[in-house]
Amino acid sequence: MNLVVVESPAKAKTIKKYLGPDFDVVASYGHVRDLVPKEGAVDPERGFEMKYQIIERNEKHVQAISKKLKAAAALYLATDPDREGEAISWHLYELLRKRQQIGERPVYRVVFNEITKRAVNDAVAHPRGLSYDLVNAQQARRALDYLVGFNLSPLLWKKVRRGLSAGRVQSPALRLIVEREQEIEAFETREYWSVEADAAEQGKTFSAKLVEYAGEKVEQFTITDETRAREVEQALLAAANGRLSVDKVERKQRKRHPAPPFITSTLQQEAARKLGFTAQRTMRTAQQLYEGVDVGGGAVGLITYMRTDSVNLSQEAIDELRAFIAERYGADHLPPQARLFKTKSKNAQEAHEAIRPTSIGYRPERIKAHLSNDQARLYELIWKRTLACQMAHALLNLVAIDLGCGAGNRFRATGSTIAEPGFMRVYLEGRDDVTGADDDEERMLPDLQQGQTVELLAIRSEQHFTEPPPRYSEASLVKMLEELGIGRPSTYASIISTLQEREYVELDKKRFTPTDVGRIVNKFLTEHFTAYVDYDFTARLEDTLDAVSRGEEDWIPLLEQFWKPFKEQVDYTQEHVQRSDVTQEAIDEQCPKCGGQLAKRLGRNGFFIGCSNYPDCDYTRDLNADKGASDEPEIVEGKSCPECGSDLAVKRGRYGKFIGCTAYPKCRYIEPIEKPEDTGVECPKCKAGTLQKKKSRRGKIFYSCSTYPKCDYAVWNEPLAEQCPHCGWPVLTLKVTKTKGAQKVCPQKECGYTAPVDEDGGSDGRDAGAASARRKPAPEPVA
């Protein structure tokens, strides 16, 4: 009997059916070791020695592996084919070796990019040893993240606010979002006018844009006010006399080639555009498709490994795709030669493949019934993109028509038609921000010939205003991170989720905006740790880590080169930068109460205007309040106090804005501006209300009864409508910690019941179990 170890139970279940009776397959549930969660886990004074400890919740899984290993002839480490997967195998090997449980057994490392019978058996038949280059690259990344987290986070506590933290790759990403917001705020809107002609021919109407007037080229700001626009309008109408002449017709054909197959970053972008998925949701669903889904006849891996920078396809996959295209669409939809795409990433392992179906024969419509809604939608996206990438190009007929309107005046109409759809029959790549020019190109035009005239229906002038650059969406942020070389595709989901969890950014209408705290943290880092949030510096560091993984660089000199100047900057900032330098910004205004200097300050609920003589002077006002009316309450329209019938008004207290009765202090009725989110879980104490998600005055989430103050029942962790199997209490809570992961916990202290979540394999494979230890940045001293 041979023992095979993978990360997740779902993956183990799929692989087990491909291996014969001579193999047993068991899951480690992610990482088995992590850095000790305290200062000194990485010791720069001792050659960056790293102190590891077993992850408590995975001890039982290690023991299960150890027990099965006793009867095994050999150990096969079959974790994912990347740095993290290599590190999981290495940590397990080191742990078993130090416990003297390996003995004389051979230890093999096997990797496969898809979970199919052929790939799994081929990998087991051709094992290799552990790649210490990949392990060292992962250790270097882990050490860097730890050193940044454990040194910058306490500094942020002292200079900004307790509970804040900073990450090595999250900080440049935050800078991107803040700088885009600053661009938007600094943007000055300019007015301009466009002039268009509505024309008709053979019953078809179309429009054309003015591109030349009185012999001069018309540009964006040629016409900047309504008076001039109306003058041009009237002059053109007089010159046209009801008809426009077709002066020039340009026809040409353009080839449009399909997009390459998905890599991690492009999958995240396209899933955001077309499916509305977050990066985390995309990766979680892709993990499930990779590890295996039962589509009838047992679990099967549906896609290849989803953490990849390579756009390569195996020859076997290309042959299958070409045969499928010829059979389903005809030989005319096949290019003469298979399409080969060039990988952009220097560190992409050419042995890896792009993200593709393990077999194009698993058609989306046939297996849809076996998949969840998310799985079906994402699989269809991957299936169509892969199929399209090997199809013939599309052929577009482009036409540009110049229409004369008297001497020196010219309109232009552009449009296109699809001559041969090619790959567009299957798939067309999405775009982030579509412009008017894009719409013009896809417009249909009537068949016109040079020398004829067309009927002029109207000439319209339209007012426009220039717009600032758009805020980042998840798709455009991932695209920018990739272009700048910040992080790596496998880290984009955690970068975005970390910024949101720390409340440095908010997602509003699928666009990111920085919070006030995010702005201050960014300001602090860009002013005092400029190099470490510099895009080029971050990209060069990632390139060096890639070089370590290729065996071209040593990881210890990399850490030494980073650590010394970083530590010096931390110490200097600690001594010379005051909290007020970071959280306050003086404004050109005196305090109306004491005559002191007013400043823009960061409070518990964001920015406000306050007196610099605080606490001697307690004058404050809202940042954007009208100074003359700052003390006037804002009446809530159409709503009265339910207790006394007086008007309700928006007020500000020490913990932020709230709605209160204008009859105060006679009536003390208050309510929150934002209604708490209802969990739907019945209050176990009064059974009359439900538990609602609320924020404490310090911003911490808790859950309390909707009937408060009649019922004061409250818990800190998310309630679950499940009865405790030990004491019978009507609810359990979901508690997540770095050391123990996600657990179901009884809120009754005297009970003590706890149980891990999704131990049966229903969790997210590699992202489950050790997810927090494996994906999050360095452990940080956050309360």
Catalytic residue numbers read: 305
Backbone angles phi, psi at 531, to 5 degrees: -60, -30
Give the tokens for residue 406: 């008297």
Tokens encoding 629: 């009316």
Selection from 418, 272, 352 nearest residue 80 by Cα = 352
The span from the CA of 95 to the CA of 519, in Å, is 43
Distant-in-sequence, close-in-space partners of 249: CB < 8 Å, separation ≥ 6: 399, 400, 401, 402, 448, 449, 450
- Most distant pair of Cα atoms in the chain: their distance: 97
Name 652's Cβ contacts closer than 8 Å, sequence gap at least 6: 622, 658
CA nearest neighbour of 561 among 573, 553, 572, 552: 553
User: Among all chains, which residue has been given the structure tokens 């859950």?
Assistant: 703
Q: What is the DSSP letter of 689?
A: S
Tokens of 545: 């880590």
Residue of 420, 272, 295 lying closest to 368 (CA atoms) = 295
Q: Is residue 619 helix, strand or coil?
A: coil
Q: Which residues, at least 6 apart from 227, have a Cβ–Cβ distance to it below 8 Å?
A: none
d(CA 650, CA 635): 6
Residue with tokens 């992080």: 487
- Tokens representing residue 767 in the block: 């992202």
> Measured between alpha carbons, how far is 468 from 190 in angstroms, rounded to an integer?
10
What would the DSSP string read from start to end of 479-519? Answer: HHHHHHT-S-GGGHHHHHHHHHHTTSEEEETTEEEE-HHHH
CA atoms of 650 and 670, how far apart (whole Å): 10
Reported as type and span, the H/E element at residue 236 is helix 226-240
Tell me how far apart the alpha carbons of residues 50 and 40 are, in angstroms, rounded to a whole number.
8
> What contacts 545, CB < 8 A, 6 or more positions away?
137, 140, 141, 558
Closest CA to 214 of 200, 199, 228: 228
State which amino acid sits at residue 293: V
Give residues with Cβ within 8 angstroms of 73, minimum separation 6. Answer: 1, 2, 105
DSSP 3-state assignment of 47?
Answer: coil
Bridge partners of 246, per DSSP, are 403
**CB of 317 closer than 8 Å to CB of 338:** no
Cα–Cα distances (Å) from 620 to 50, 70, 635, 657, in that order, read 49, 70, 20, 13
Triad 74, 78, 82: Cα angle to 5°: 140
CA terminus-to-terminus distance, the chain? 47
Helices 373-388 + 264-275 axis angle, to 10: 120
Spatial separation of the C-alpha atoms in residues 108 and 111, rounded to whole Å: 10
